[in-house]
Amino acid sequence: MARAQCLAKAAWLTLFAMLAGSLVLTRIANAADKVIFVTDYGLYGRHSYYFVAMEKGYYARENLEIEIVRSQGSANTIKQVANATAQLGFADAFAVVLGRANDDIPVKLVAIVYPKPPHAVYVLKESGIAKPRDLEGKTLADTAFSSVPKLFATYAMAAGIDAGKVKWIAANSDALPGMLTARQVDGIGQYTVGEPLLAATAAPREVLGLPYSNAGLDYFSNGIVASDAMIDANPGLVRRFVRATLDGLKSAMADPKEAGEIMHKYHREIDVDIAVGEMRKVRELADQPGAPLGTTDPGRIRKTIDIVGATFALKKTVSPTDVFAPGFLSD
């Protein structure tokens, strides 16, 4: 009898150990994939939709644990992604094209977030500058690595003005708003998504933007990027990240106020109203009537590459398949 009880007890212990082991293996199997995501530059209200995706559980739904880190520019972003310091990032298409053509950086866009050009020159309304022609004879400022001044000659040609009559000087990004309001320069380079923060800094003076898109320039800008290695080795993870992020973008575009509040919750230093304004600017760039968020086409990628080639020196030819990887917008 005692022996039977011992055998029964041993059987129960064995079964318990098997169940416990199974539970551990299940937890391991279901452990979220950790992803480091790097922005294009800093951390601002324009990045709210990533935190919306985090807050609403879109990343968790895709079994992803996301850490968002800041970059010092798109060129830095694609290097971090290529070196696997970050698994995914947000970068300008120009940086991707230049990285491929000049430095063989193996990174591609997998979804376009800004299908419309965000580049612009901002001036004070009181300056009397109201149209591109008014920029002739003026001095503008931007950072040394910004694509706004580098693309200015292309913009000037499209706008019908003489780029040679406009002087550009380099300055630190933090100094640009003050230089504009102090009238040390006549205008500064800026992405349109940065207008709300610039306007708040310049208040009570009003700012005016001269977007490059108004001159008819049409090219892709920022999007989600991944390395060739990540695309080849773990396309499912990339697809899950894109799906969750675009769901976050869709939610943020539908309710910019909520998005701004969520951004402020995660980063108290970011003003809610400015975050709301920046998210509205993102909506202007991201919205493609009649087309799902993130979509692209080879023709416009080709046009983007051609504009980069006309603006910068390229060491080698780049094709659309070199800079964009399709197939990550749906299962």
In DSSP terms, which residues pair with 37 in a beta bridge? 68, 88
Give pLDDT tens digits along the chain (331 positions).
Answer: 455 555 555 555 455 445 445 433 333 346 899 999 999 989 999 999 999 999 999 999 999 999 999 998 899 999 999 999 999 999 999 999 999 999 999 999 999 999 999 999 999 999 999 999 999 999 999 988 788 998 999 999 999 999 999 999 999 988 999 999 999 999 999 999 999 999 999 999 999 999 999 999 999 999 999 999 999 999 999 999 999 999 999 999 999 999 999 999 999 999 999 999 999 999 999 998 888 999 988 899 999 999 999 888 999 999 999 999 999 996 5
The pLDDT of residue 5 is: 57
Query: Alpha-carbon distance 146 to 91, whole Å?
Result: 13
Query: Alpha-carbon distance 93 to 76, whole Å?
Result: 13
The pLDDT of residue 133 is: 97
The pLDDT of residue 85 is: 97
The pLDDT of residue 193 is: 97
Domains of the chain: 33-116+220-323 (3.40.190.10), 119-215 (3.40.190.10)
| First-to-last C-alpha distance (Å) of the chain | 60
* Number of C-beta neighbours around residue 198 at 10 A: 21
Q: Answer yes or no: are the C-beta atoms of 22 and 30 closer than 8 Å.
A: no
Q: Angle at Cα 61 formed by Cα 60 and Cα 67, nearest 5°? A: 25
- What's the predicted TM-score (pTM) here? 0.87
Sign of CA dihedral 264, 251, 90, 194: negative
Cα–Cα distances in angstroms (integers) from residue 150 to residues 64, 174, 309, in the given order: 37, 19, 12
The pLDDT of residue 311 is: 86
Q: Which helix (H) or strand (E) holds 300?
A: helix 298-311
The pLDDT of residue 12 is: 52
The pLDDT of residue 144 is: 85
Cα–Cα distances in angstroms (integers) from residue 109 to residues 36, 97, 100, 264, in the given order: 17, 10, 12, 28
